[in-house]
Amino acid sequence: MKLFQPLILTCCLSAIFAVSHATAVQAAASAQADNTAVSAAQLQASVNLRKNWQGLTRDIAFPARWLPDSHVFYYRKTVAGGFAFIKENVDSGVTAAAFDQALVAKGMTAATGAQVTQWQLPFDDFWYQDDGIRFYLNYEPWHCSLAEPSCAALADPSRPIADGEVRDLRVPADNPLRPSPDGKFSAHVQDNNLELLDSSGKQRLLSQDGSAAQFYDAESLQWSPDSRYLLALKVTPGQARYVTRVLSSPDDQLQPKTIEQLYPKPGDVIDVEQPVLFDTKTGKQLAIARDSFPNGYLLENLHWRSDSQSFAFTYTERGHQRSKLIAVDVATGQPRTVVDEQTDTFINQWGGSYAHEVNGLGHEIIWLSEREGWAQLYLIDGTSGKVKHKITHGEWPVRNVVHVDDAKRQIWFAASGVNAGEDPYFIHYYRINFDGSDLTALTAAPANHHVSFSSDMQYFVDSYSRVDLPNVMTLNHADGRQIRTVAKGDISLLTQAGFKAPETFVAKGRDGKSDIWGLIVKPQNFDPNKRYPVIENIYAGPHDSFVPKDFWPFGYHSGGDKVIGMQALADLGFIVVQMDGMGTKNRSKAFHDVAWKNLGDSGFADRILWHQAAAKKYPWYDIADGVGIYGASAGGQSTLSALLFHPEFYTVGVAYAGCYDNRMDKMSWNEQWMGWPVDDSYLRASAVVNAAKLQGKLLIIFGEQDSNVDPSSSLQLVNALIKADKDFDLLQVPGGEHSVGRSTGPIDYVQRRQFMFFVEQLKQRKTPNWNVAP
């Protein structure tokens, strides 16, 4: 039995006034019922849309993986009943099943106690390892044998971190012996100090200054290529802030439990990391002077140069306004700043930074920077730190670097916005020379591309699509020449079931220049002669852009739930929209900077203009009585911001798992965008501080066991609203995690509650709005 058993609390703080108007309210609702009522059957059909549309596509192929050092790739595609995993050999042309799915299903059924079928395996991606396959299930690592029906969960501290997850780094991690490149020695951490072992097992302490208050980090140990030097980080722990959650309804006992989680928050004292160099030949120990990196938030990418004469690392100053590449010469131990990147707002550490040392020597550096307004690549002189020249040029951003060939002096990278006339968010892939010449496009179709290269860079598999174009997968030579089509999506059954692609809509933002791109989702029985109230699905987190660019709906386990949810809501008689306003990523630096110390903005100045432009163009786009809005996590915060700061436009909101006061949320995300030290900007953006401004109708939903956003954030909002005498609805889900009701837990129940809230408060408007300005 799962822990997700919902509890509804309806907060009605103006009860006497409400009762005195009950008859009038009921009469008003009855008068509207003929035109706006939604039957139980209609509601259930919308909630079931996700299930009804499953299995209605064929050959929708998802991005491929390559077996290392081979010309074999594998991928997942839709088939009757679910998904098939396919493996193809480019050299031989042989295509086969990637593994025995029936065998794995049998093993998963035995391991989980839940019935698993071969076409409905509970994972999207996998890789081959240890005579079997590895994959992640609910962010935890699993292994299944391919010789027998045997599967098991694994303990793995190196698992990928879930979106926004805060991991307890003080949980003891694996502490393996780190062998030197020549195999003569191994090193590890023993009782907070470094210990060296020779090939016979003889032990020698390299350090004696380690303690619980200043310990050597076992994960940081790195040998120099010549096996003489050992590098380690010595850590002075910061503030150990723990969040304590109450598990009210455990499935194995009657009484509640408590759960603790290490959870650093903005402004907390953080760990101090000190690089220490050891000469294993002489026994000399040298702590590297921290003058050039005194206030570190991140000290990462610690690595040796290939000649063993120096090592380097990247340093991000707390506050995210300065980033450096620092090199240290082993002969002197003196650090030297190679690149010093500074900004008045923020340096984007969420996929917006990149450094590559050519030939591993550091004489030349390929560096990604937004210093001229767009994310572009530069070639830096590793001695002087000066820009030799700009590699890429244009008013478009480099999205990521895929591969660098130092010998050929070529770079393979992804970018968006290069092609005039296309959606500026569509990702394409390119190759360019170090000197900026011979920019070559590797992908051509006007769509969003996901490319995977073979290890030797001879081939790549391209899976591309748009919201109105089902996935097409092609096999290509490295120069972009197509070899063949691997798979082409077939949505004929989905179309017969009523699917229609959403409409792309573009309007100008607040600056009068920037295009704001979004989607409009209509009911399947859309009638252009009717008028439909509008609901916005919002997520305005500055760490990315969020309007779907791939085929819609994308699939069972790959984001399809969220976009299908938009269609399901629309089918109840709404227009549902989503857009990326200013403050989100993947456009210019100026576009992104709107979010700086300003998360309460959420791009509303752009969003409102977008709505108004749509209403001007389409007579069926009805915003006359206000717009509804919903969102989760940062989108939950934005939903509150809409009702607090723009009540004349947004009148009904459903907020999931919001970080309603950025001081209460995780340090890593919030200090990146709101800065450090914590200042008044945190208060200005806080829905808790501004709770008294609430107007309109609000439903708050959150999971009791949210490990991403402290669930007390939701309850502190509740407390502030009660003190301000504001009415609202609250749905707290015992045992529920951050994604409860969206991709986990009682999805149907929570979605039904959200849908009915919009039907009653935006469409039928059963009850008066007591939350009005005094």
**Which tens digits make up the pLDDT trace of 597-635?**
999 999 999 999 999 999 999 999 999 999 999 999 999
Spatial distance between the Cα atoms of 124 and 139, rounded to a whole number of angstroms: 12
Q: pTM (2 decimals)?
A: 0.91
Backbone angles phi, psi at 596, to 5 degrees: -60, 120
Determine how many CB atoms are found less than 10 A away from the CB of residue 160: 10
Checking if the pLDDT of 35 tops 70, the result is no
Cα separation, 446 vs 614, in Å, equals 24
The SS3 of residue 310 is: strand
- Extents of the domains making up the chain: 7-53+493-763, 65-159
Q: Mean per-residue pLDDT for 449-461?
A: 98
Q: Is the pLDDT of residue 370 over 50?
A: yes
Residue-wise pLDDT tens digits, 79-103: 999 999 999 999 999 999 999 999 9
- pLDDT for 393 equals 97
Least confident segment among 23-37, 206-220, 226-240: 23-37
Banded pLDDT at 741 (limits 50, 70, 90)? confident
Structural tokens at position 56: 């209605």
Q: Is the pLDDT of residue 36 over 90?
A: no
Q: Is 394 helix (H, G, I), strand (E, B) or coil?
A: coil
Residue 515 has phi, psi (to 5 degrees) of -80, 130
Q: Identify the residue with better confidence: 26 or 88.
A: 88
pLDDT of 311 above 90: yes
Residue 171 neighbours by CB distance under 10 Å: 8
**Pairwise CA distance, residues 315 & 323, whole Å:** 6
CA angle, corner 357, sides to 353 and 361, nearest 5? Answer: 155
Is residue 174 scored above 50 in pLDDT? yes
The pLDDT of residue 552 is above 90: no
**CA–CA gap between residue 178 and residue 188 (Å, rounded):** 6
DSSP 673: H
Average pLDDT over residues 308-337: 97
Are 640 and 634 in contact, with CB atoms under 8 Å apart?
A: no
Res. 766 pLDDT band, cuts 50 70 90? low
Mean pLDDT value of segment 191-211? 95
Over residues 376-395, mean pLDDT = 97
Backbone Cα Rg of the chain: 28
pLDDT band of 407, cuts 50, 70, 90? very high
Place 24 in a pLDDT band, splitting at 50, 70 and 90.
Answer: very low
Mean pLDDT of 269-284: 96
Greatest pairwise CA separation for the chain in angstroms: 90
pLDDT at 30 over 60: no
In angstroms, rounded to a whole number, what is the distance separating the alpha carbons of residues 518 and 515?
Answer: 10
Q: Are 102 and 144 in contact (CB under 8 A)?
A: no
Give the Cα separation of 444 and 467 in Å (integer). 17
Question: Given this model, what pLDDT does residue 155 score?
Answer: 76
746's CB contacts (< 8 A; 6+ apart) are 4, 5, 6, 733, 740
| pLDDT at res. 562 | 66
Q: At what angle do helices 747-758 and 40-47 cross, to 10 degrees?
A: 130
Q: Could you tell me what percent of the chain has a pLDDT over 90?
A: 84
Helices (H), 527-629: 560-570, 589-593, 604-617
Mean pLDDT of the region 438-446? 98
pLDDT tens by residue, 471-506: 999 999 999 999 999 999 999 999 999 999 999 999
**Residues 65-91 as b or e (16 or more Cβ within 10 Å = b):** bbeeeebbbbbbbbeeebbbbbbbebe
Q: What per-residue confidence (pLDDT) applies to 770?
A: 60
CATH of domain 7-53+493-763: 3.40.50.1820
Amino acid (one-letter) located at 524: Q
Residue 556 is encoded by which pair of tokens? 């069972």
Give me the residue label for tokens 């403050």. 583
pLDDT exceeds 80 at position 592: yes
SS3 637: helix
Residue 700's pLDDT band (boundaries 50, 70, 90)? very high
Q: Identify the pLDDT of residue 26.
A: 35
User: In this model, does residue 561 exceed pLDDT 80?
Assistant: no
Task: Give the separation between CA 296 and CA 762, rounded to whole angstroms.
Answer: 49
The 10s digit of each residue's pLDDT in 643-656 is 999 999 999 999 99
Residue 29: pLDDT band (50, 70, 90) is very low
